[in-house]
Amino acid sequence: MTQPQALLIDDEPDILELLSITLIRMGIDCDTAPNISQAKAKIDNNNYNLCLTDMKLPDGDGLELVTYLQNKRPDTPVAVITAHGNMQTAIEAMKLGAFDFISKPVDLSSLRNIVSNALKVKPSEKESTKTSPTLSQKFIGETDNMQRLKQLILKVAKSQAPIYIRGESGTGKEMVARLIHSNGPRSDAPFVAINCGAIPTELMESEFFGHKKGSFTGAQSDKEGLFKTADGGTLFLDEIAELPLNMQVKLLRAVQERSIRPVGSEKEHPVNVRILSASHTDLSEMVEKDSFRQDLFYRINVIEINVPPLRERVADIPALVDYFVRRLADRNQITPPSIPEAVIKKLQQYHFPGNIRELENILERAITLSLDETLNANDILLSQSNSSQTSDGIERNGMPLEDFLEDIEKTEIAKALEQTGGNKTAAADLLGISFRTMRYKCKKLDID
């Protein structure tokens, strides 16, 4: 079997020697260059499996090489070596297409992790994502915006850059995160997903970073946090906008330093995770209002992916209906009911504030309640909870405004819970509020 080859670019002989020795011990042949001009010449004449370059070189900077490789050898992963603490340069390099970054002084354990992941990167498919059956089967949709999204997923999956997935509730943000993970070099490692809004504030640090026995009341044994559970793989932080400011500071440090300190521990532990995050809230607006840290926003938002709402991909509804009907029928061990055109037309005319999750809930309810082998338009009950007509016909009749608004709020929450089969997380998504807010309102309004 042919040994992989790496190109190392640095004008410091000691650094080149350290990098070469480390990679040779990993079974990798190394070629070196002291500057950009020699590196370009070697790139033109060789097909390397990976490239490591310093940022400051005698005749330019590493960003120029990142761009050059993207144009000449887009399948060659390149990692940049940056001065300690120069995170902005590392982020800029990843925005240009760098696979990852290494901070000086070079930590050999981190270096080996990055090199191992880089060698797992597969060459690009020359064809469209239509020829990728795995992606098409898991992420249904053939509209133009969905095709662009699939192509972007395959492209960013090869990088180790943090990705921020933005989209309305129920659009499939976690599915996008899982596809990025499964199509990347970490696919054989854990994918750990957590809804940041579902963790009680007082337990967040322990959940994320773990704790030592006896570090607080109730800590009866050591516990690994989510970062450690995801070590080597991907950590998906859903609804990251729900993180309180004090936790945002600690998350930023963990992401930048690639290490964590469990509650009650005196030392930090290195972790090797890729961070993917998502929110239905506009984080840039939260940054402007000082409710989300700007430095954390720029750190997690190296690459942004927008997931289109269902109303912008109406042509995909027939395929989605077919998929959900078959899956629900299989789950309930019944013959899939036939779906007439009238049902499809009714669904395509609906706004879907809850997006794909709402579509699945509507179909599940219709199949459960239908007595025929064919669903008809009357079986499809569409929610009006997000309609502008919500409070039409409701009279205040002298009731105090606060009580009146609470009655409306209680009615809408009850509708959402009924529509989602009592699932508070799904109901919160449908109403456009966080799980924590949903839990608070249910307790306040005495909704079981």
Q: How far apart are CA 387 and CA 289, in angstroms?
A: 28
Instruction: Please indicate, yes or no, whether residues 114 and 15 belong to a single structural domain of this protein.
Output: yes
Q: Which DSSP helix (H) or strand (E) runs through 269?
A: strand 269-270
Tell me the C-alpha to C-alpha distance, in Å, between residue 25 and each of 18, 118, 387. Answer: 11, 16, 64
Whether residue 216 is predicted with pLDDT greater than 80 in this model: the reply is no
Whether residue 336 is predicted with pLDDT greater than 70 in this model: the reply is yes
Domain membership of residue 268 (yes or no) is: yes
Q: How far apart are CA 314 and CA 306, in angstroms?
A: 17
Q: How far apart are CA 8 and CA 20, in angstroms?
A: 8
**pLDDT value of residue 41:** 95
**pLDDT value of residue 411:** 84
The domain spanning residue 319 has which CATH number?
1.10.8.60
Mean pLDDT, range 283-294, rounded to an integer? 94
**pLDDT value of residue 239:** 93
Domain membership of residue 124 (yes or no) is: no
184 vs 409, higher pLDDT: 184
Q: Which residues of 134-158 are buried (b: 16+ CB within 10 A; e: fewer)?
A: ebeeebbbeeeebeebbbbbbebbb
Instruction: Please indicate, yes or no, whether residues 253 and 146 belong to a single structural domain of this protein.
Output: yes
Residue 289 φ/ψ, nearest 5 degrees: -90, 5
Residue 95: strand, helix, or coil: helix
Instruction: Please indicate, yes or no, whether residues 424 and 446 belong to a single structural domain of this protein.
Output: yes
**pLDDT value of residue 201:** 87
Each residue's pLDDT tens digit, 319-330: 999 999 999 999
Residues in the chain: 448
For strands 60-61 and 56-57, give the pairing.
Answer: antiparallel
Instruction: Please indicate, yes or no, whether residues 227 and 327 belong to a single structural domain of this protein.
Output: no
Give the angle subtended at the CA of 443 by the CAs of 438 and 448, to the nearest 5°: 90
Q: What is the pTM of this model?
A: 0.80
Residue 199: strand, helix, or coil: coil
Instruction: Please indicate, yes or no, whether residues 147 and 258 belong to a single structural domain of this protein.
Output: yes
Q: How far apart are CA 5 and CA 134, in angstroms?
A: 30
**pLDDT value of residue 124:** 63
Q: Tokens 């794909």 identify what position?
A: 356
Q: How far apart are CA 273 and CA 181, in angstroms?
A: 11
C-alpha gyration radius of the chain: 25
Count helices and strands (H / E) in the chain: 19, 14
Tokens of 396: 């205040």
Amino acid of residue 382: L
Asked whether 415 and 433 are in contact (CB, 8 A), the reply is no
The C-alpha torsion from 122 through 125 and 129 to 132, rounded to 10°, is -60
| Domain termination residue (choose one: 261, 292, 308) | 308
The domain spanning residue 285 has which CATH number?
3.40.50.300
Asked whether 233 and 192 are in contact (CB, 8 A), the reply is yes
Average pLDDT, the chain: 87
Each residue's pLDDT tens digit, 96-125: 999 999 888 888 988 999 999 999 887 764
Tokens of 265: 């521990």
Instruction: Please indicate, yes or no, whether residues 137 and 10 belong to a single structural domain of this protein.
Output: no
| Low-confidence winner among 260-264, 283-287, 292-296, 389-393 (lowest mean pLDDT) | 389-393
Confidence of residue 126 (pLDDT cuts 50, 70, 90): very low
- Count of CB atoms situated within 10 Å of the CB of 100: 22
Confidence of residue 130 (pLDDT cuts 50, 70, 90): very low
Instruction: Please indicate, yes or no, whether residues 138 and 269 belong to a single structural domain of this protein.
Output: yes
Could you give the percent of the chain with pLDDT greater than 90? 58
Instruction: Please indicate, yes or no, whether residues 142 and 177 belong to a single structural domain of this protein.
Output: yes
Instruction: Please indicate, yes or no, whether residues 185 and 94 belong to a single structural domain of this protein.
Output: no
**pLDDT value of residue 433:** 79
Domain membership of residue 127 (yes or no) is: no
The domain spanning residue 447 has which CATH number?
1.10.10.60
Number of domains, the chain: 4
Confidence of residue 332 (pLDDT cuts 50, 70, 90): confident
Contacts of 110 (CB under 8 A, 6+ apart): 102, 258, 270, 272
Asked whether 30 and 20 are in contact (CB, 8 A), the reply is yes
Q: Is 362 exposed, middle or buried (0-12, 13-18, 19+ CB in 10 A)?
A: buried
Give the angle subtended at the CA of 137 by the CAs of 132 and 140, to the nearest 5°: 105
Contacts of 342 (CB under 8 A, 6+ apart): 376, 377
Domain membership of residue 258 (yes or no) is: yes
Instruction: Please indicate, yes or no, whether residues 368 and 406 belong to a single structural domain of this protein.
Output: no
The domain spanning residue 10 has which CATH number?
3.40.50.2300
Confidence of residue 365 (pLDDT cuts 50, 70, 90): confident
**pLDDT value of residue 283:** 93
Each residue's pLDDT tens digit, 4-16: 999 999 999 999 9
| CA 310 centroid distance within chain | 19
**pLDDT value of residue 441:** 84
Domain membership of residue 434 (yes or no) is: yes
Q: How far apart are CA 328 and CA 333, in angstroms?
A: 8
- Count of CB atoms situated within 10 Å of the CB of 125: 12
Amino acid of residue 221: S
| Domain termination residue (choose one: 289, 308, 327) | 308
Each residue's pLDDT tens digit, 3-57: 999 999 999 999 999 999 999 999 999 999 999 999 999 999 999 999 999 999 9
Instruction: Please indicate, yes or no, whether residues 182 and 320 belong to a single structural domain of this protein.
Output: no
Secondary structure letter of residue 218 according to DSSP: T
Asked whether 357 and 371 are in contact (CB, 8 A), the reply is no
Confidence of residue 401 (pLDDT cuts 50, 70, 90): low
Residue 191 domain boundaries? 133-308
Which of 253, 79, 99, 261 is CA-nearest to residue 186? 99
